[in-house]
């Protein structure tokens, strides 16, 4: 099982779009994929379930919020596997391919849980001397070690646009970190800072855990999204920001995703990511398929052949 956190400090960079479409395309290739929505905005969850259906089925007890609440208040939560759901619309598209896409839904109340978790590690500065440091940071990692998750090939975690406690639990549980970004000043400004925060977390965590329990998530790279194209490809300003990011020494995905507001906006209403929609923008779908191929190559996930 390969666990990947999708993360950027800035919102509105296509983070959820990348997570949903990667998961859908990988599942279409016959893999078993789990999406975990750790963003309180719940945009990923609402990409697969209409808001009224979500409110009816999950908002009172079936989300990541309720699992974290039980972990914090009772310290004996139900197994995380009991919060997994299978969105019917997208899985109908996958029927016959052998793949599956499951989801652990999010909830707006995760914002408050973050403060409760931070209290167990000495507040917002995450004191490594706190007795609860390892317990809190390992909540998600230990939950994903349950035997019920062993059948998944890939777990993709859509993180909130911050580096607070819930995001830190995602990074600790992850083998890889993927950074979607727009090719503009504000979106690229925090990429190097994010890299340093991940490195700082790894260093502090490993100091506490010791040699036997260390973590080593690698940065898969930056995926540039919402790319504006001219006749001969991405516009010059876009190319400059990509080059600037490479100059940091950050790995950058070869495949970029062009801007298509209409396609990505309507995909959520149908409960099916754009990469699986019929009769839609062929260039965008091609880019999403190629991104999935590059992603699988970088994570070394083997795709079954026909």
Q: What is the mean pLDDT of residues 219-243?
A: 74
- Assess whether pLDDT exceeds 90 at residue 280: no
Nearest to 23 by CA among 105, 88, 94: 94
Question: At 35, phi and psi to the nearest 5?
Answer: -100, 135
- Assess whether pLDDT exceeds 70 at residue 302: no
- Assess whether pLDDT exceeds 90 at residue 235: no
Query: Who has greater pLDDT, 276 or 279?
Result: 276
Query: Who has greater pLDDT, 233 or 246?
Result: 246
At 266, the pLDDT band (50, 70, 90 cuts) reads low
Residue 212 token pair: 């036997």
Q: What is the pLDDT of residue 233?
A: 57
Distance CA 266, CA 272 (A): 9
Contact call for residues 180 and 8 (beta carbons, < 8 A): yes
Share the mean pLDDT of the chain.
Answer: 86
Task: Tell me which range, 3-7, 116-120, 264-268, is most confidently predicted by mean pLDDT.
Answer: 3-7
Using one digit for the tens of pLDDT, what is the confidence trace for 56-84? 888 778 899 999 998 887 767 789 999 99
Full set of structural domains in the chain with CATH: 2-299 (3.40.50.300)
Q: What is the mean pLDDT of residues 86-99?
A: 91
Q: Which residue has the tokens 């600790």?
A: 172
Q: What is the pLDDT of residue 262?
A: 63
Return the beta strands (E) in the chain as ranges. Answer: 2-6, 32-38, 100-104, 154-159, 176-182, 218-225, 229-230, 233-234
Nearest to 225 by CA among 260, 251, 266: 260
Q: What is the pLDDT of residue 268?
A: 62
Q: What is the mean pLDDT of residues 158-181?
A: 94
At 123, the pLDDT band (50, 70, 90 cuts) reads low
Q: How far is Cα of residue 3 from the mean position of the Cα atoms in its chain?
A: 9
Q: Which residues of 23-42 are buried (b: 16+ CB within 10 A; e: fewer)?
A: bbbbbbbbbbbbbbbbbbbb
Q: What is the pLDDT of residue 277?
A: 87
Q: What is the pLDDT of residue 29?
A: 96
Query: Who has greater pLDDT, 288 or 249?
Result: 288
* H-run or E-run covering 217: none
Q: What is the pLDDT of residue 9?
A: 82
At 263, the pLDDT band (50, 70, 90 cuts) reads low
Q: What is the pLDDT of residue 28?
A: 96
Residue 230 token pair: 């001219």
Residue 225, classed as helix, strand or coil, is strand
Q: What is the pLDDT of residue 119?
A: 81
Nearest to 263 by CA among 251, 248, 273: 273
Q: Which residue has the tokens 């001219």?
A: 230
Q: What is the mean pLDDT of residues 115-119?
A: 83
- Assess whether pLDDT exceeds 80 at residue 102: yes
Long-range contacts from 184-190, C-beta under 8 angstroms, 24+ separation: 184/241, 185/241, 186/10, 187/8, 187/10, 187/13, 188/241, 188/244, 188/245, 190/8, 190/9, 190/10
Using one digit for the tens of pLDDT, what is the confidence trace for 170-199? 999 999 999 998 877 777 777 888 899 999
* H-run or E-run covering 252: none
Q: What is the pLDDT of residue 37?
A: 97
């Amino acid at each position: 099982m390969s666990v990947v956190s999708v993360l950027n400090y800035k919102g509105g960079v296509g983070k959820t779009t990348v997570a949903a479409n990667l998961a859908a395309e990988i599942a279409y290739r016959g893999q078993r994929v789990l999406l975990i929505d750790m963003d309180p905005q719940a945009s990923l969850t609402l990409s697969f379930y209409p808001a009224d259906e979500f409110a009816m089925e999950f908002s009172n007890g079936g989300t990541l919020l309720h699992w974290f609440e039980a972990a914090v208040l009772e310290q004996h939560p139900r197994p995380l596997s009991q919060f997994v759901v299978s969105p019917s619309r997208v899985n109908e598209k996958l029927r016959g391919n052998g793949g599956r896409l499951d989801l652990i839904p999010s909830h707006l109340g995760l914002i408050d849980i973050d403060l409760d978790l931070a209290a167990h590690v000495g507040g917002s500065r995450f004191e490594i001397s706190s007795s609860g440091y390892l317990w809190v940071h390992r909540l998600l990692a230990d939950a994903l070690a349950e035997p019920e998750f062993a059948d998944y090939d890939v777990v993709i975690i859509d993180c909130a646009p911050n580096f607070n406690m819930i995001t830190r639990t995602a990074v600790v549980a992850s083998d890889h970190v993927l950074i979607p970004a727009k090719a503009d000043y504000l979106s690229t400004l925090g990429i190097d800072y994010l890299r340093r925060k991940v490195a700082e977390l790894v260093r502090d965590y490993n100091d506490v855990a010791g040699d036997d329990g260390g973590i080593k998530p690698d940065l898969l790279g930056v995926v540039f999204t919402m790319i504006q194209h001219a006749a001969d490809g991405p516009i010059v300003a876009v190319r400059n920001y990509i080059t600037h990011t490479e100059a940091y020494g950050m790995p950058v995905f070869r495949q970029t995703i062009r801007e298509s507001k209409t396609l990505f906006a309507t995909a959520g209403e149908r409960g099916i990511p754009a990469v699986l929609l019929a009769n839609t923008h062929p260039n965008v779908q091609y880019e999403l398929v190629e991104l999935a191929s590059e992603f699988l190559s970088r994570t070394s996930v083997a795709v079954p052949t026909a």
